Amino acid sequence: MLIAGNWKMYKGPAETAEFCLGLRDQELEGVDVVVCPPFVSLAVAVQLLAGTEIAVAAQNVHWEEEGAYTGEVAVGMLRELGVYGTIVGHSERRQYFGETDETVGKRVHAALEAGLFVIACIGETEEERERNETEDVLRRQLSVLEPDDNLVLAYEPVWAIGTGKTATPEMAHEAHDFIKSQLDVPVLYGGSVKPENAAELLSRSSIDGALVGGASLDLESFTAICRAAIRS
């Protein structure tokens, strides 16, 4: 079971240090824990979590080794920092920053090639679900990915991210089953996971963990979700 915290554009180095110092002291045996701070906070997170089982991942990475790509970060730069992996294809990148299936595929491929662990995000919008297109969308998003020991997927229905709306465990289970029939890798669920709903979601056999946004910013709620994963 894997619990990953996506901090999005929250927590600079000082807040990251405070969180990591608190996280270091928690007993979290029996669950794999990953935190994904913004780029500028990766170094301090790696430093403060060194020697623990808690991994640090970025929120994105570029596919070229280096070059004139203002605002992007290369795989080698993450490796140099001691970062363990990266999220790729988060729906906020797809929605607001023009990320496409093609660029997601390139980022995932480059990161895996370099030995990074990757959490690749997929999921349908509310309109797509209403039009009964969920499976078509997932199939299309998955078409650029191949199984790899270092790859996990996060099924994140876009309508459930940061909205307080959560897919029912049944809906998540159905989507996870479909995803696994297309690509045989672990699948995390993401979309308003909180301490109150984590245990029920994580009890489903097809749900291999969670990618947590809002609730990962607070040490108490994040560790409560990690503990729900340990118990499940």
| Closer by beta carbon to ligand PEP, 105 or else 157 | 157
By CB under 6 A, residue 185 contacts ligand PEP? no
Cα separation, 122 vs 211, whole angstroms: 12
Can 62 be counted among the known catalytic residues?
no
CB of 191 to ligand PEP, least distance (A): 5
Structure letter (DSSP) for residue 74: B
**Is residue 208 at the binding interface for ligand PEP, with CB under 6 A as the rule?**
no
Pick 122 or 212: Cβ nearer ligand PEP: 212
The Cα 2–Cα 86 span in angstroms is 14
SS3 69: coil
99 is an interface residue for ligand PEP by CB under 6 A = no
Nearest to 142 by CA among 111, 113, 121, 161: 121
Residue 67 Cβ vs ligand PEP, minimum distance, rounded to whole Å: 28
Rounded distance, CA 78 to CA 74, Å? 7
Total binding residues toward ligand PEP, as defined by CB under 6 A = 14
Number of continuous H segments (helices) and E segments (strands) in the chain: 10, 8
Residue 22 sits in the site that holds ligand PEP (CB under 6 A) = no
| Site for ligand PEP, rule CB under 6 A | 6, 8, 156, 161-162, 190-193, 211-215
